[in-house]
Amino acid sequence: MPTVFSHAAVPVALGLGLGRACIPPRLLLAGVAVSVLPDLDSVAFRVGIPYQITLGHRGVTHSLVFGVAVALLGACAFRVLRTGFGRAFWFLLLAAVSHGVLDAFTTGGYGIAFLWPWSATRYSAPLRVIEVAPLSLSRLLSPRGAAVLASELRWVWVPCGLAGLGLLGLRWTLAPRWASASTRRGRPAG
């Protein structure tokens, strides 16, 4: 798995790229929280649940069904998040599902149970390029941890940063067009 920091890269990039008007700060914070939520299943290691079963690490909580359930629950708080239900749902769904997708690209583990409950099969990406993160802070602060963080910078943060900048550029490019189109329809811009 990537570190907790790198799971947040996807919602942060989307939120900053789309802007506060589209992704309000509360929704962005909820997206960051949802993006790391699936790793609560790492508690399974401490209570003796084997990694490979569906209740183990990268099982149920990394599935698409879990992502949809979390997004639906979060979207029910759309007023608190200061957005609409649909926007909250889709943003939180992308944040939640991005967790398993990033994990599928790591060099360790048995894959992700994306299709649970229909299938317990675990899937990995064809290219497993992100160094798997150690589960302890002491190991993260070691030379091995430095290699993991460098890998995440290369394979997660740089692509997410570029995607966020691309969204920002697209938003800046299209904003004058949207403003002029709504003015032509008799609506004030903004």
For the stretch 154-165, pLDDT in tens is 999 999 999 999
What is the mean pLDDT of the segment spanning 82-106? Answer: 97
Residue 136 falls within a domain, yes or no?
Answer: yes
Task: Give the Å distances, CA to CA, from 161 to 44, 93, 101.
Answer: 33, 20, 17
The total of structural domains in the chain comes to: 1
Residue 164 falls within a domain, yes or no?
Answer: yes
Residue 88 falls within a domain, yes or no?
Answer: yes
The DSSP output letter for 51 is: T
pTM over 0.85? The answer is yes
pLDDT at 91: 98
How far apart are the C-alpha atoms of 149 and 43, rounded to whole Å? Answer: 23
Residue 126 falls within a domain, yes or no?
Answer: yes
15 touches 28 (CB < 8 A)? yes
Helices (H), 37-157: 43-46, 64-75, 85-104, 137-140, 143-152
**Domain limits for position 46:** 4-184
**Which residue has tokens 């790591």?**
106
Residue 177 falls within a domain, yes or no?
Answer: yes
Residue 13 falls within a domain, yes or no?
Answer: yes
Residue 190 falls within a domain, yes or no?
Answer: no
Whole-number mean pLDDT of the chain? 89
pLDDT tens digits for 131-189?
988 777 777 778 888 999 999 999 999 999 999 999 999 998 887 765 555 555 555 55
Residue 92 falls within a domain, yes or no?
Answer: yes
